[in-house]
Structure formats: structure tokens, C-alpha cells
């Protein structure tokens, strides 16, 4: 499966999830990945095989590390294969402003120059405006990701906190990105 196809399918899956996903324990909760493929593989070796264990990933899949594309693609493929066992929420690096500055866009332009474009155009149902179609596709997926997870109705998981205007978990369902 091509990266654009993975992104398109993942966008559909996430668009059908609520802003808050509810997960049953036991599960493995994984923090920032930041393009560290070796660390991600270590999390799987410690936590158990994909498909057998439940995983909740708390965001920041890209930037800083040298393997952002690989980490994001692996996690999205895992989500597609095991949608009821792999849960991903959005971190602050799952935004154009951040990942366009801290390495993800540059990695995609360097490793996948065939997706670089001049100006805006429509490619495979994804309108590219920022210079790389894959970058736009991944960010459209990120836009659809849940904002929080609740494990066993007792553990509240977000990436880095919430606005003071969010007083109840239910308020998260009112946020539309």
C-alpha cells in the first residue's frame, strides 16, 4: 500500500472516531515517539505484539528524529490493521505549524522528492498547498485524530494538557479542528 493510500484510509478511520476514545485495560500507554523508530520498536518489544496488546499513543509521532515518516506510517498502518487495539491521539506536533518547522516537512521533501510540488493542486483527492503532497496528506490525518483517551473510565490521557475553557471531558466533543 502506498503512503497516500495509508493516509487516505487512516483519515477515514479517524474521522469516524470521537474526540475522546474510551479504551479498556490492560493497555500499553506510549508517550512521544518523535520519529525515533528504534524507540518505537523497543516499545513494541516491551509492551507486546501489535494486535495482541492494546496500545494508546499520546501524540508527537513526528519531528526531531530521523524516521518521522516511518514511525507515522507504521503507526497508521497498525491503526488500519488493528483499529480496536491501536489508539492514537493528537499531540502538538500533529499540526502544520509545528511539523512544518521542526523537521517533518523537511524530511518528506528530502526523502520523497517525487511528492514535492510548486503551488497548490489536487493530487489523489488531497489538495496540496505547502510544497509536499505527503505532508498535506499526513496533516489531514492528524486533523482527524482524537484529542484524548480514557482508560477504564479512570485514567485520562491527553498529550500536553487542556485549555482552561475545557472543564469536562464532554467539552472535548465540541472541539472541531
How many angstroms separate the CA atoms of 177 and 142, rounded? 10
pLDDT of res. 129: 55
pTM exceeds 0.75, yes or no: yes
Catalytic residue among 93, 121, 159, 176: 93
pLDDT of res. 110: 92
pLDDT of res. 69: 97
Q: Is 93 a catalytic residue?
A: yes
Half-sphere exposure of 103 (CA within 13 A, CB side): 14
pLDDT of res. 122: 54
Q: What is the pLDDT of residues 31-80, one digit of tens each?
A: 999 999 999 999 999 999 999 999 999 999 999 999 999 999 999 999 99
Residues in the chain: 177
Q: What is the mean pLDDT for each group of 10 consecutive residues in the chain (177 residues)?
A: 93 97 98 97 97 97 96 98 98 94 93 78 52 90 97 94 75 72
Coil vs helix vs strand at 53:
strand
CB 19 within 8 A of CB 175: yes
pLDDT of res. 171: 74
Task: Give the CA radius of gyration of the chain.
Answer: 16
SS (H, E, C) 142-157: HHHCCCEEEECCCEEE
pLDDT of res. 61: 98
Amino acid at each position: 500500500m502506498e503512503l497516500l493510500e495509508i493516509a487516505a484510509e487512516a483519515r477515514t478511520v479517524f474521522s469516524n472516531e470521537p474526540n475522546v476514545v474510551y479504551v479498556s485495560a490492560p493497555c500499553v500507554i506510549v508517550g512521544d515517539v518523535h520519529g525515533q523508530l528504534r524507540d518505537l520498536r523497543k516499545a513494541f518489544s516491551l509492551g507486546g505484539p501489535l494486535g495482541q496488546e492494546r496500545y494508546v499513543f499520546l501524540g508527537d509521532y513526528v519531528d526531531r528524529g530521523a524516521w518521522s515518516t516511518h514511525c507515522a506510517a507504521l503507526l497508521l498502518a497498525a491503526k488500519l490493521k488493528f483499529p480496536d487495539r491501536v489508539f492514537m491521539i493528537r499531540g502538538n506536533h500533529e499540526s502544520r505549524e509545528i511539523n512544518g518547522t521542526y523537521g517533518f516537512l523537511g524530511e518528506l521533501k528530502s526523502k520523497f522528492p517525487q511528492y514535492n510540488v510548486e503551488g497548490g493542486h489536487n493530487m489523489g483527492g488531497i489538495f496540496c498547498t505547502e510544497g509536499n503532497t505527503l505532508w498535506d496528506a499526513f496533516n489531514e490525518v492528524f486533523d482527524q485524530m482524537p484529542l484524548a483517551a480514557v482508560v477504564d473510565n479512570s485514567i485520562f490521557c491527553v498529550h500536553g494538557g487542556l485549555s482552561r475553557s475545557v472543564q469536562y471531558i464532554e467539552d472535548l466533543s465540541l472541539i472541531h479542528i
